[in-house]
Amino acid sequence: MSKQNRFVIAILTLIVTSSTHFAHAQDTTKTFVPILKYTADLVVNTHGGIKTGTVYQGYAEAGVEINPWKNGRFNFSVGSTHGGRPTATLVGDWQEMDNIESANHFFVLDAWYSHTIDKVTIKAGLQAGDDSFSVYAATDNLQNTAFGGNAVLMSGGNLPTMPSNGLGLTAQWQISNAVSWQVGFFGHVIDLGDDNDFNLKHKLSDNGYVIVTEAQLTPIQTLVLKAGAYYRTNNDNNGFYAACEKSFHLQGNRDVNTFITGGYAPRAIDAATASITCGASLTSLFSKSGADALSAGLATAHLDGHRWETAIELNYRYQLGRYFYVSPDMQWILNPMGDPEAKNALVGTLRLGFEL
């Protein structure tokens, strides 16, 4: 048995054993919370892109959250990506139409601790930058990676994201009920496969680091305003972004959540120089219990040395009981990779998911 297979079996055995015990503990103390997810995507490119065809992409995550005391929290999880890579093999878009896409890897995903002292929360360890910065609730169901975080920040700042989470330190200060501010420091991301098979190789000093800061204002409960900036030390990449989220209550459990974001990087190198996203999500379209949501979004980014690439997405999600959901998705991608010679792509995805 290879060294990699032994490592995989050992980690999975530890997590499964722990999760079984933690699930019982959760009923009484809620100190241990198991994490178990699986996402299965069947992606069909019907027109344009690199070529038409169908591929499968899967993502598994398992771990545990430990809450040893009131203000402290440990999180450890591992992940696995596998399948046909729809962006790389079918579509060829820069923003990546499938937010779980990666090559075949097994890796440590999260290994961090957070602690809250009065109004300040500090989080340190192996983590994803888009868990803290450029996060927008209305984009949760959209599957294009562009909606997972501002493209200017994610590319120019080289912020660590799944599957290549990186070492980082963040601090958030809840100044008042309406105002908060946070800052983060993240090391250089070493992609999986580049002599970093399990995402265990990290050096903060190699190739610089990124500093990112973000302020949030919530003047009323239904309105959120955000503004942030980043600076990367090794190549002087810098930029800023802003966002507005507004929700509207209609009737019953029916709500509309809207968002618009924008980013600009005056000296981006091999990254997005500008980006805009916008869209809306309607909950309880057909159900009265809030079990379904219809989401639509537009994401466009101008690439360094290329043209604008635009993705238009329509997504529907329906919750099947407590743990399972189904989510069909359609995307129309214009100028893949910002190349005017590339054929626009029409891509459909059927996503099935499980979340414990």
**172 or 191: which leads in pLDDT:** 172
- For the chain, the C-alpha Rg in angstroms (whole number) is 20
Rounded Cα gap, residues 169 and 133, in angstroms? 12
Inter-residue contact 332 to 339 (CB < 8 Å): no
The pLDDT tens digits for 65-77 are: 999 888 999 999 9
Helix or strand (DSSP H, E) at 311? strand 308-320
Token pair 């070492």 is found at: 167
Q: How many domains does the chain have?
A: 1
CATH of the domain at 50: 2.40.160.180
pLDDT of 147: 96
For residues 97, 81, 156, 247, the Cα torsion angle rounded to the nearest 10 degrees is 60
Inter-residue contact 163 to 109 (CB < 8 Å): yes
Rounded Cα gap, residues 3 and 24, in angstroms? 33
Helix or strand (DSSP H, E) at 17? helix 3-28
Rounded Cα gap, residues 12 and 264, in angstroms? 42
Token pair 């537009």 is found at: 298
Handedness of CA 97, 108, 77, 1 (dihedral sign): positive
pLDDT of 196: 80
Q: Which two tokens stand for residue 240?
A: 């800023």
Rounded Cα gap, residues 299 and 147, in angstroms? 7
The pLDDT tens digits for 13-35 are: 555 555 444 444 444 446 889 99
352 has pLDDT over 70: yes
For residues 272, 274, 209, 168, the Cα torsion angle rounded to the nearest 10 degrees is -100
Least confident segment among 98-102, 289-293, 317-321: 289-293
Can you give the residue range of the structural domain that contains 315? 3-355
What are residue 22's phi and psi, to 5 degrees?
-65, -30
- Which 3 state secondary structure label does DSSP give 51? coil
10 has pLDDT over 80: no
What average pLDDT score do residues 176-202 get? 88
142 has pLDDT over 80: yes
Give the closest residue to 210 by CA, choosing from 145, 134, 309, 146.
134
- Which 3 state secondary structure label does DSSP give 47? strand
